[in-house]
Chain A
Amino acid sequence: MATLVQSELVARGVIEAEALIRVEELHKYYNLGETRVHALRGVNLEIAPGEFVAVMGASGSGKSTFMNLLGCLDTPSSGHYLLEGVDVAQLAKSELATIRNRKLGFVFQGFNLLARTTALENVELPTLYAHLPKEERAERARRALEMVGLGGRMEHLPSQLSGGQQQRVAIARALVNHPSILLADEPTGNLDSRTSVEIMQIFQDLNDRGLTVILVTHEPDIAHYAKRTVVFHDGKICRDEPVVNRPRAAEVLRTLPSLAD
């Protein structure tokens, strides 16, 4: 019960939370008819601001469920999830939507861009729900696209962009509301190896500038670019260790042959 006391104190602002994310005894089960699937069986984790964490594990290990909970797309069956000191597990749907909008940025495996919508409009999407004035929306979207190196392709449709470019649009969309955490679910799963490293370079750059990045992957090569790896097994964390000999994506790219097309 010690943890509960602590979280309450944090919630009341008595003690300051140094962690950006604090997860305590997180459980999640799904009721599928008669059977109950226990996806998370008591997860405890702390992530400080500025970390770059790779979440790994086999399929069915619970890492996707964990990411959905971190991303406020789902609520835990029991336990606490404190995001910047606020217990998210207790929040209403609309408050979760606001957190997703302001504090979190999502990058998905399948890019998940709106088809037949320009890169600029795709990136603008989260600002629309942040109720920003029209000029600021466009300005922010433009800057985010420039940050990922797509300043020249703002009016392109997703179908006119390569996979790597589409993922960069998705990253720009994730960044446009200046979130405190970037959540990436298998962001390189649909990309070739060189493009994957390019995406990791962007993540490393963003992390260098202070953005917390949490990345789900099953590729050890990709996990290496993070600063810390957390491995899930059967709904629990079985390993949590810092990355040694972390490669810099920018340097790796120089050694890779460029795929001239």
Chain B
Amino acid sequence: MDLISILRIALQALARNKMRSILTMLGIIIGVGAVIATVGVGQGAQQQVQDNIASLGTNLVYVSSGSVNRGGLRLGSGATKTLTYDDMKAILQESPAVASAAPGSSAAAQVVFDNDNWYTRVNGTEPQFFDIRSWQMASGASFTAGDVRTSADVAVLGETVRRNLFGSADPVGETVRIGNLPFQVVGVLTAKGQSGMGADQDDAIYVPITTLQKKITGQPWLQYIVVSAVSQAASYAAQDQITALLRDRHRIHPGQEDDFQVRNLADVAQLADQSSRIMTLLLASIAGVSLIVGGIGIMNIMLVSVTERTREIGIRIAVGAQEDDVLKQFLSEAVVMSLIGGAIGILFGVAASLGISNVLRWPISISRVAVAAAVVFSTMVGIFFGYYPARKAAKLDPIEALRFE
């Protein structure tokens, strides 16, 4: 028999028991729908996590001054005064994996505007810092390289600082006091929310590094250097190059501890990415179990159907149907049921993931792989769970079958 006849007969047989066919398909519909929805939502979440991490800068390498060991007393991170502006220049010049770098140092200070004041961290840096972190200005602009050269009294406010000092007003052009020094506000950063560690990233003020060093802290040391590698993959190379370079510059002998720390955000990105991937896989496999349950439903109903239609099978065998013909007929019914169920399940799954992403405001991500896998898997479920009942039908003794009431 040709494929079209087989499919037509299968559809006719299923149409004769509409309610039963639909209920049987429901198992597959829910199974496929659940797989697609969980994978869709899971991948949306993964995308979200990746975006969040990308906003931290996945090609970032963070160099900070490290601990120092003075006669057995370890003083903890940031205790050394060895990281310098020259280190940064050396990193830029000598590490091929490094694209850009910005120095950083900070101090806590009371910031005052009119009758309002706010205690925050004042960070000194250079304008490329904002590019490296891919931070945008909500209003105004960053201070310039010229401001750094002249140690200008200009500041960029974080959103939390702006809100606490200015309420809803735009502070650009206004003057705030840091300690006793007046600073002109040149820009406001867009809100970035909390960092991965729960710290408020918007609670900060940025001023030129030279201004901070000369007028606020009075210290020439850097607390950190923010480096961007040429790519995320290159960040590991950058990390190694910087470590080697700084050990050399700081004259650290082999076997001696580093007096700085180099951290690589790609590790964090990978970890977060991996954990959300595992979560998706876990959810999808739970949903996959329901697909198997749906398959068992198909097998169950096909067995009932074979028993009910024993006489029909007997007639078909008597008029010359081969075992193979009967097998194909029942197998195709099972496969058609699971395929239609799979198709409806895909629609349900897509609708469900659209709905969920709408509610959770996650990016929509319907995986083509998941859809293709659902089609393949539901066909396989049909073949796997339809085979046994179909074989049972094909092996019926025609004499017994014709006598069956």
Shortest Cβ distance from residue B329 to the other chain A in the assembled complex, whole angstroms:
10
User: Which residues of A have CB within 8 Å of B98?
Assistant: none
Q: Which residue of B lies closest to A117 (CB)?
A: B12
A76 at interface by CB-CB < 8 Å: no
A254 at interface by CB-CB < 8 Å: no
Take A73-B398, A73-B399, A131-B1 as given contacts and tell me if A126 and B320 are in contact as well, using a CB distance cutoff of 8 Å.
yes
Are A97 and B402 interface neighbours, CB within 8 A? no
Partner of A116, one of B1, B16, B325, B399: B16
A93 at interface by CB-CB < 8 Å: yes
Are A114 and B315 interface neighbours, CB within 8 A? yes
User: Which residues of A have CB within 8 Å of B402?
Assistant: 108, 112
B252 at interface by CB-CB < 8 Å: no
Shortest Cβ distance from residue A247 to the other chain B in the assembled complex, whole angstroms:
30
User: Which residues of B have CB within 8 Å of A93?
Assistant: 323
B162 at interface by CB-CB < 8 Å: no
Are A101 and B320 interface neighbours, CB within 8 A? yes
User: Which residues of A have CB within 8 Å of B315?
Assistant: 112-114, 125
Interface string of B378-402 (1 = CB under 8 A from A): 0000000000000000000011001
Interface SS of chain B: helix
User: Which residues of B have CB within 8 Å of A112?
Assistant: 311, 314-315, 318, 402
User: Which residues of B have CB within 8 Å of A129?
Assistant: 1, 316, 319-322, 325
Interface string of A93-117 (1 = CB under 8 A from B): 1100110111000101000111010
Shortest Cβ distance from residue A201 to the other chain B in the assembled complex, whole angstroms:
24
- Residues 9 to 33 of chain B near chain A (Cβ within 8 Å): 16
B317 at interface by CB-CB < 8 Å: yes
A234 at interface by CB-CB < 8 Å: no
Among A97, A101, A116: residue with most chain B CB under 10 A: A97
A128 at interface by CB-CB < 8 Å: yes
Are A126 and B398 interface neighbours, CB within 8 A? no
A44 at interface by CB-CB < 8 Å: no
In angstroms, Cα B400 to Cα A68, docked, is 11
Q: Which residue of A lies closest to B324 (CB)?
A: A94
B312 at interface by CB-CB < 8 Å: yes
Q: Which residue of A lies closest to B309 (CB)?
A: A114
In angstroms, Cα B314 to Cα A135, docked, is 26
Q: Which residue of A lies closest to B312 (CB)?
A: A114
Interface string of A114-143 (1 = CB under 8 A from B): 101000000001101111001000000000
- Band of interface residues on B: 20 to 34
User: Which residues of A have CB within 8 Å of B323?
Assistant: 93-94, 97
Are A106 and B319 interface neighbours, CB within 8 A? yes
A71 at interface by CB-CB < 8 Å: yes
Among B5, B16, B318, B319: residue with most chain A CB under 10 A: B319
User: Which residues of A have CB within 8 Å of B312?
Assistant: 114
User: Which residues of B have CB within 8 Å of A27?
Assistant: none
In angstroms, Cα B325 to Cα A172, docked, is 22
User: Which residues of A have CB within 8 Å of B5?
Assistant: 128, 134
A74 at interface by CB-CB < 8 Å: yes
- Residues 29 to 49 of chain A near chain B (Cβ within 8 Å): none
A173 at interface by CB-CB < 8 Å: yes
- Residues 54 to 74 of chain A near chain B (Cβ within 8 Å): 68, 71, 73-74
Q: Which residue of B lies closest to A101 (CB)?
A: B320
Partner of A100, one of B318, B324, B325: B318
Shortest Cβ distance from residue B399 to the other chain A in the assembled complex, whole angstroms:
5
In angstroms, Cα B324 to Cα A210, docked, is 33
User: Which residues of A have CB within 8 Å of B398?
Assistant: 73
User: Which residues of B have CB within 8 Å of A125?
Assistant: 315-316, 319
Q: Which residue of A lies closest to B325 (CB)?
A: A129
Q: Which residue of B lies closest to A96 (CB)?
A: B320
Are B1 and A97 interface neighbours, CB within 8 A? no
In angstroms, Cα B319 to Cα A101, docked, is 5
In angstroms, Cα B323 to Cα A101, docked, is 13
Partner of B317, one of A97, A128, A134: A97
In angstroms, Cα B268 to Cα A96, docked, is 70
Among B1, B316, B318: residue with most chain A CB under 10 A: B318
- Residues 320 to 347 of chain B near chain A (Cβ within 8 Å): 320-325
Shortest Cβ distance from residue A102 to the other chain B in the assembled complex, whole angstroms:
7
Are A97 and B399 interface neighbours, CB within 8 A? no
User: Which residues of B have CB within 8 Å of A73?
Assistant: 317-318, 398-399
In angstroms, Cα B318 to Cα A116, docked, is 19
Shortest Cβ distance from residue B307 to the other chain A in the assembled complex, whole angstroms:
16
In angstroms, Cα B318 to Cα A177, docked, is 13
- 29 contacting pairs across A/B (C-beta < 8 A): A73-B317, A94-B322, A94-B324, A97-B317, A97-B321, A97-B322, A98-B320, A98-B322, A100-B318, A100-B319, A101-B319, A101-B321, A102-B320, A112-B314, A112-B315, A112-B318, A112-B402, A113-B315, A125-B316, A125-B319, A128-B1, A129-B1, A129-B316, A129-B321, A129-B322, A130-B320, A134-B5, A173-B319, A177-B320
Q: 4 nearest interchain CB pairs?
A: A101-B320, A126-B319, A129-B320, A100-B320
6 more CB-based (< 8 A) A-B contacts, given A97-B321, A106-B318, A125-B316: A73-B399, A114-B312, A125-B315, A126-B320, A129-B320, A131-B1
